[in-house]
């Protein structure tokens, strides 16, 4: 089990990187606490697999250092760092039985066979694989195979961290939930450092205690699922998390009012003051569930046009046009939706102001 | 830069591969008298007299011409008959389809030696002995099954929905096949043409048995030279070098496709 | 989605069937005809039943050729398979080296088979060949592939390996490239040695292509004609007379139609047996890879 520190990591796949765009990882500097359940969340191409490979040692970063429990492991390959990795598709030794697969890492370490057998049985028990031990690994279903992959990591008692690279990709939808729950259970049981890479926010938010959001090679926010939802520090976090994501409107500041193409959204004193001192493109952000819809004019309400309504069962998504831009509101089931022209209410405390994509606070 | 052991091994192997070829090149650039007179690691007096003889003596250069003629004929025939057949195997189930496919495969495996005499008699009987078409047809025995096999594989990669859409849109089968389907399997047609061409080009037994003078391929001319006394090694070497040229040209042109084809497996 | 069921598909295969039947069935009919007749002149023959078959099956020369053939094909597999795999393992995975290697390795495969024989005659002659002269002068061995059977066999094996190992290497290389990088990463993480990685990951995953390689090489070496014929003509004596060479000698050389035909059929049956095995194994391997 290890506490992993990434110090000033930057990486480019090109031999002679010149500008920022050439870097897959721009500047990563953070700590992964021992025993934490982390999700590394981000869209495809943001660099999360690159970062995972830097952590595991499969990739040596162009610059920066990696520390495990204070020890500099930057020069060490994965096998010396003692990490384990579960890949997007099951990676097994086809010709071996499940027992053979689980025993393999221990055999390579030279453990006596009695110890190996004992440990393999322990891990198989945890993963519900005991009835399959004598079966050929190649014949199992995809989710069982992923468990075997996980097992090969757990079998080493002193494993530093277990890294998951989108492990549910090839699993059937009905089984995804089961497997995700199992992984969470194992984390609670063993308290190992788990780092789970995914582009699916639902997976990330349900699995992790702390979510690390990445965008274009940088970590833009680390926080609990609640923190990410309530206080996104970057417009991307606001947009990516939540379904649907946060609404953004470009605006200019006029006293206490954010002006969006003629319409005015009232801000509270604090936010307005911060906005006045900020530099760069200003955007107002609000989550769809906080937008209030009224058929008649309300104080501080902003007129908008209803374009479409999607009924999702327990809630409805209403698409609206405001000053030429599309907004989405999320209403609970049963709440009537006015037709045509409506007035939007922006509750003061729910409005977030962003400058150049970053939350002003 | 560390040079790995395996890279050294690989380079040694590649070197060994090239040495016999280099040696023949060496011989081809020396006159026969020079070769027999002294042993030399490289041609001290380079001469093109051997190549000149081949290019000017019709009994030699016609060999190449003949080979190219029947190889091209064979490739065209093989492709033309294999394309519809491969389509049938790929898309349709019909009585005896598996057995037919297996039978085709067995022909590919058949020893050419078995057919040497029967072909000789058959083609003399129908008066086609010593013609290009005879060799082209004889090679069909091996190339057509191979062509069907390769093309069927590529065709199966094209979803049947495309065929169905075209038929619904009113395409007649020939029009669909030529304007839509074949372009989709371009790579397969290329691979097949390549294998047909090369197999027909390298084959010796049948091409020698079925020809006398008019359609004699270069391979037969070279082997004929062996039985004569006073072997001209320089000439033989030059003739040999020239037979390698089409092969090298073809590989050179498809080298990127080859590399890509091997890399694709990784995705 | 299943195939469409339609017997009209026969029209599409008709051209293929016609051509291959013309090239295969008619000659075979001839062969079968000859194999049961004793022909001593045009239009003069008597039916002799299985006489030729019995004679050929008991023919010592045929047995010798058969054993030589098995020895040859066996040696071919024994040497070319491991060598081809080793080469494939050594070949670069990316960069300009890939096409350079592929091109160089492919060259021997595209040389006409008689030229192959010619190359090696020139190369191994003691008077003008680099190899021949080298062995004779540097090692003092009187090497002559036209005089001693052992020398002929050594030259033949060198030529064959030189010629066809690239095919095994290319197939093995294709198989290796199809293995996702993740397997190598997992093996490193599990602390596997290079040998373990080869034995537990690479070799099993190359099963398909290696099966194809084994069967192709066995079949093609079993039918070999041109290269040994050009190199040694089957000699010295009979020492390199393999099945195809012997058959052509009888049929076209001596014009012994009867025995030649009987031999052809025996030869063909042996080949058919192996073809059938080939087909079955390929089908099973194909299914196994999808599973």
Q: Which residues are bridge partners to A321 per DSSP?
A: A305, A326
Confirm or reject contact between A111 and chain C (CB < 8 A). no
Res. C288 pLDDT band, cuts 50 70 90: low
Contact check, Cβ <8 Å, C189/A84: yes
Confirm or reject contact between A101 and chain C (CB < 8 A). no
Contacts of A87 in chain C (CB under 8 A): 182, 185-186
Confirm or reject contact between B168 and chain C (CB < 8 A). no
Question: Is the pLDDT reported for residue C286 higher than 70?
Answer: no
CB-nearest to B9 from C90, C177, C229 is: C90
Cα–Cα distance between C143 and A297 in angstroms, integer? 108
Confirm or reject contact between A88 and chain C (CB < 8 A). yes
Structure tokens that stand for C219 in this block: 């079949």
Structure tokens that stand for A228 in this block: 């990410």
CB-nearest to C204 from A79, A95, A109 is: A95
Q: Find how far residue B15's CA is from the centre of its chain.
A: 25
Surface of B (244-263) touching C: CB under 8 A: 244, 246-248, 250-252, 255-256, 258-259, 261-263
Contact check, Cβ <8 Å, B218/C112: yes
Mean pLDDT of chain C: 84
Residues of chain C with pLDDT > 70: what percent? 96
Give me Rg for the CA atoms of chain A.
Answer: 25
Residues of chain A with pLDDT > 90: what percent? 26
Q: Which chains touch A (3 or more CB pairs under 8 A)?
A: C
Q: Residue A244: is the preceding peptide bond cis (ω within 30°)?
A: yes
C-B interface (Cβ pairs under 8 Å ≥ 3) = yes
Residues of chain A with pLDDT > 70: what percent? 100
Identify the residue with better confidence: C61 or C278: C61
- pLDDT, tens digit (0-9, with 9 covering 90-100), for A231-275: 899 989 988 888 888 998 888 888 888 888 777 888 888 888 888
Of the residues C11, C90, C116, C250, the best mutation for testing chain B's interface (the one with the most B CB atoms within 10 Å of its CB) is C90
Cα–Cα distance between C114 and C119 in angstroms, integer? 9
Surface of C (121-140) touching A: CB under 8 A: none
Residues of chain C with pLDDT > 90: what percent? 15
Confirm or reject contact between A290 and chain C (CB < 8 A). no
Confirm or reject contact between B228 and chain C (CB < 8 A). no
Res. A195 pLDDT band, cuts 50 70 90: very high
Contacts of C92 in chain B (CB under 8 A): 7
Q: Residue B265: what pLDDT? A: 45
Cα–Cα distance between A353 and A278 in angstroms, integer? 10
Contacts of C109 in chain B (CB under 8 A): 198, 247
Res. A17 pLDDT band, cuts 50 70 90: confident
Distance from CA of C71 to the nearest CA of B (A): 18
Reference A133, options A168, A98, A175, A102; nearest CA is A98
CB A321 within 8 A of CB A270: no
Instruction: Please tell me which residue of chain A has the smallest CA distance to C200.
Output: A93
Q: Residue B228: what pLDDT? A: 47
Structure tokens that stand for C170 in this block: 């290319």
Question: Is the pLDDT reported for residue A188 higher than 80?
Answer: yes
Provide, for chain B, the percentages of residues in helix, strand and coil under a 3-state DSSP scheme, each rounded to the nearest 5.
80, 0, 20
Contacts of C193 in chain A (CB under 8 A): 108
Backbone angles phi, psi at A268, to 5 degrees: -80, 165
Contacts of B82 in chain C (CB under 8 A): 16
CB B89 within 8 A of CB B152: yes
Q: Residue C233: what pLDDT? A: 83
Q: Residue C7: what pLDDT? A: 80
Identify the residue with better confidence: A17 or A52: A52
Question: Is the pLDDT reported for residue C289 higher than 60?
Answer: no
Question: Is the pLDDT reported for residue A121 higher than 90?
Answer: yes
Q: Residue B264: what pLDDT? A: 52
Cα–Cα distance between B238 and B248 in angstroms, integer? 15
Q: Find how far residue A43's CA is from the centre of its chain.
A: 9
Contact check, Cβ <8 Å, A93/C182: no
B219: exposed, middle or buried (Cβ count in 10 Å: 0-12, 13-18, 19+): buried
SS3 (DSSP) at C141: coil
Q: Is the dihedral of CA A143, A146, A152, A155 positive or negative?
A: negative
Q: Virtual CA dihedral for C12, C13, C16, C22, nearest 10 degrees? A: -120
Surface of B (103-162) touching C: CB under 8 A: 104-107, 109-122, 137-138, 140-141, 144-145, 148, 160
Q: Each residue's pLDDT tens digit in chain B (267 positions)?
A: 557 888 898 999 999 999 999 988 888 888 877 777 777 788 777 888 888 888 888 778 888 889 889 999 999 999 999 999 999 888 888 888 888 888 887 788 788 888 888 888 888 888 888 889 999 999 998 899 989 988 888 888 788 888 888 888 888 888 888 888 888 887 788 878 888 888 888 888 888 888 888 888 888 787 766 544 467 888 888 888 888 888 888 778 777 776 666 665 432
How many other C-beta atoms can be found within 10 angstroms of the C-beta atom of residue C205?
19
Cα–Cα distance between A121 and A114 in angstroms, integer? 11
Confirm or reject contact between B76 and chain C (CB < 8 A). no
Reference A67, options A11, A10, A2; nearest CA is A2
- pLDDT, tens digit (0-9, with 9 covering 90-100), for A155-167: 988 888 999 999 9
The vertex-A128 CA angle with A126 and A130, nearest 5°, equals: 100
Cα–Cα distance between A45 and A23 in angstroms, integer? 12
Distances (CA, A) of A247 to A197, A316, A319: 26, 16, 11
Q: Residue C2: what pLDDT? A: 66
Q: Residue B170: what pLDDT? A: 86
Question: Is the pLDDT reported for residue A218 higher than 80?
Answer: yes
- pLDDT, tens digit (0-9, with 9 covering 90-100), for A284-319: 888 998 888 888 888 778 888 888 888 888 888 989
Edge-to-edge strands, sheet with A23-32: A71-72, A63-68, A4-12, A23-32, A218-223, A210-215, A37-41, A193-198, A161-165, A84-86
The vertex-A79 CA angle with A76 and A84, nearest 5°, equals: 120
Contacts of C94 in chain B (CB under 8 A): 263
Distances (CA, A) of A48 to A245, C186, C270: 21, 18, 59
Question: What would the mean pLDDT of C97-118 be, rounded to a whole number?
Answer: 87
Contact check, Cβ <8 Å, B14/C5: no
Q: Residue C86: what pLDDT? A: 93
**Could you give the ipTM of this predicted complex?**
0.79
Structure tokens that stand for C265 in this block: 């059929």
Structure tokens that stand for A60 in this block: 């040596």
Confirm or reject contact between C61 and chain A (CB < 8 A). no
Listed in order, strand segments (DSSP E) in chain B are: 92-93
SS3 (DSSP) at A316: strand
Q: Residue A91: what pLDDT? A: 92
Backbone angles phi, psi at A95, to 5 degrees: -80, -10
């Amino acid at each position: 089990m290890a506490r992993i520190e990434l110090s000033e990591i930057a990486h480019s796949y090109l031999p002679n990187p010149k500008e920022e765009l050439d870097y897959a990882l721009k500047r990563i500097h953070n700590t992964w606490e021992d025993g934490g359940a982390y999700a590394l969340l981000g869209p495809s191409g943001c660099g999360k697999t690159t970062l995972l490979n830097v952590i595991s040692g499969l990739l040596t970063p162009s610059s920066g250092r990696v520390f495990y429990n204070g020890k500099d492991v930057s020069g060490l390959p994965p096998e010396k760092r003692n990490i384990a990795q579960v890949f997007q598709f099951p990676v097994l030794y086809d010709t071996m039985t499940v027992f053979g697969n689980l025993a393999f890492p221990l055999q390579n370490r030279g453990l006596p066979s009695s110890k190996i057998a004992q440990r393999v049985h322990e891990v198989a028990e945890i993963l519900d694989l005991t009835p399959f031990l004598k079966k050929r690994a190649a014949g199992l279903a995809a989710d069982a195979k992923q468990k075997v992959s996980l097992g090969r990591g757990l079998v080493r008692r002193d494993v530093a961290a277990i890294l998951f690279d989108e492990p549910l990709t090839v699993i059937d939808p009905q089984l995804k939930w089961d497997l995700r729950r199992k992984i969470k259970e194992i984390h609670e049981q063993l308290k190992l450092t788990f780092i789970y890479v995914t582009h699916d926010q639902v997976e990330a938010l349900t699995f992790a205690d702390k979510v690390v959001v990445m965008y274009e090679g940088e970590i833009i926010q680390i926080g609990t699922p609640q923190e990410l939802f309530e206080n996104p520090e970057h417009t991307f976090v606001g947009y990516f998390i939540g379904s649907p994501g946060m609404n953004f409107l470009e605006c200019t500041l006029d006293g206490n009012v954010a002006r969006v193409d003629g319409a005015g959204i009232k801000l509270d004193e604090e936010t307005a003051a911060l906005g006045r001192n900020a530099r760069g493109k200003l955007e107002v952000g609000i989550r769809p569930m906080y937008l209030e819809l009224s058929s008649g004019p309300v104080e501080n309400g902003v007129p908008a046009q209803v374009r479409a309504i999607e009924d999702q069962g327990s809630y409805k998504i209403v698409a609206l046009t405001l000053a030429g831009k599309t907004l989405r509101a999320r209403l609970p089931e049963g709440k009537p939706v006015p037709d045509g022209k409506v007035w939007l209410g922006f509750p003061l405390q729910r409005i977030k102001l962003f400058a150049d994509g970053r939350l002003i606070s | 830069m560390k040079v790995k052991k395996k890279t050294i091994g690989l380079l040694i192997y590649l070197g060994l591969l090239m040495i016999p070829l280099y040696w023949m090149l060496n011989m081809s650039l020396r006159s026969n008298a020079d070769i027999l007179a002294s042993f030399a690691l490289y041609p001290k007096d380079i001469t093109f007299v051997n190549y000149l003889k081949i290019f000017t003596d019709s009994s030699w250069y016609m060999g190449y011409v003949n080979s190219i003629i029947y190889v091209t004929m064979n490739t065209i025939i093989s492709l033309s008959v294999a394309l519809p057949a491969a389509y049938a195997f790929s898309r349709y189930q019909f009585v005896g389809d598996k057995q037919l496919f297996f039978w085709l495969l067995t022909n590919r495996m058949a020893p050419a030696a078995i057919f040497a005499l029967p072909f000789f008699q058959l083609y003399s009987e129908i008066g086609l002995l010593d013609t290009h078409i005879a060799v082209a047809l004889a090679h069909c025995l091996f190339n057509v099954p191979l062509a069907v096999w390769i093309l069927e594989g590529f065709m199966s990669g094209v979803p049947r929905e495309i065929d169905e859409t075209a038929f619904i849109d009113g395409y007649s089968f020939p029009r669909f096949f030529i304007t839509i389907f074949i372009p989709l399997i371009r790579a397969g047609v290329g691979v097949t043409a390549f294998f047909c061409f090369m197999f027909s080009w390298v084959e010796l037994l049948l091409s020698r048995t079925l020809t006398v003078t008019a359609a004699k391929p270069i391979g037969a001319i070279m082997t004929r030279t062996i039985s004569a006394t006073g072997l001209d090694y320089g000439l033989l070497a030059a003739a040999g070098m020239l037979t390698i040229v089409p092969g090298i040209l073809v590989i050179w042109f498809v080298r990127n496709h080859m590399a890509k084809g091997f890399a694709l497996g990784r995705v | 989605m299943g195939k469409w069921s339609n017997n009209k598909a026969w029209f599409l295969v008709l051209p293929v069937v016609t051509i291959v039947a013309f090239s295969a069935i008619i000659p075979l009919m001839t062969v079968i005809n000859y194999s049961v007749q004793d022909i001593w002149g045009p239009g003069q023959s008597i039916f002799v039943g299985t006489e030729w078959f019995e004679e050929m099956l008991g023919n010592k020369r045929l047995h010798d050729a058969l054993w030589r053939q098995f020895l040859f094909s066996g040696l071919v597999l024994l040497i070319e398979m491991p060598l081809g795999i080793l080469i494939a393992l050594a070949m670069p995975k990316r960069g300009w080296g890939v096409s350079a290697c592929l091109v160089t390795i492919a060259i021997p495969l595209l040389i006409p088979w008689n030229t192959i024989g010619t190359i090696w005659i020139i190369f191994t002659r003691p008077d003008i060949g680099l190899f021949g002269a080298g062995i004779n002068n540097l090692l003092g061995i009187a090497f002559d592939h036209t005089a001693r059977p052992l020398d002929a066999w050594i030259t033949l094996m060198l030529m064959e390996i030189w010629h066809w190992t690239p095919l095994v290497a290319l197939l093995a290389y294709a198989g290796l490239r199809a293995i996702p990088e993740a397997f190598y990463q997992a093996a490193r993480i599990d602390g596997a040695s290079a040998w373990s990685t080869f034995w537990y990951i690479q070799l099993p995953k190359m099963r398909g292509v290696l099966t194809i390689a084994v069967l192709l090489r066995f079949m093609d070496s079993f039918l070999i004609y041109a290269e040994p014929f050009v190199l040694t003509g089957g000699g010295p004596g009979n020492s390199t007379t393999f099945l195809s060479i012997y058959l052509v000698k009888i049929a076209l050389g001596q014009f012994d139609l009867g025995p030649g035909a009987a031999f052809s059929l025996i030869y063909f049956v042996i080949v058919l047996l192996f073809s059938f095995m080939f087909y079955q194994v390929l089908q099973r391997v194909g299914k196994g890879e999808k599973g």
